[in-house]
Amino acid sequence: MRAQIKRLSVHAMKIGCWLLVLPLAAAPIPYFFLWRRLQGTFTDGNAFTDPISLILSYLTPLAVVGVIGLATLWRNGLATTFSLALAALIFFLL
């Protein structure tokens, strides 16, 4: 029973870490549509840079926490190397 609870809590921690990393990966998709809508209109630069500043200010620290969480799980032998490498790759490429 105790091992099953531990396994479920580890699985929940992995999902929680990925839920912190994935918004950073998904944020460029709506930004692309905003950029396409603003292209060719007369706007100042804030319309283009404000969404980027929100992404960098709020989503990047959350992604760092997610990657650190996956690294901690990996260090304790509870996460795969592929999971950690993929999360780190998503973070560093974006």
Domain-wise residue ranges, the chain: 50-94
Q: What average pLDDT does the segment 70-77 reach? A: 91
Question: Rounded mean pLDDT of 62-79?
Answer: 93
Q: How confident is residue 48, by pLDDT bands cut at 50, 70 and 90?
A: confident
CA distances from 57 to 19, 48, 61, 62 (A): 17, 15, 7, 9
pLDDT at 2 over 60: no
The pLDDT of residue 68 is above 90: yes
Which pLDDT tens digit goes with each residue over 36-46?
A: 888 877 777 78
The tens digit of pLDDT for each residue in 3-37 reads 665 878 889 999 999 999 999 999 989 988 988 88
* DSSP single-letter state for residue 40: T
Q: At 66, which amino acid appears?
A: G
Token pair for 66: 């997610």
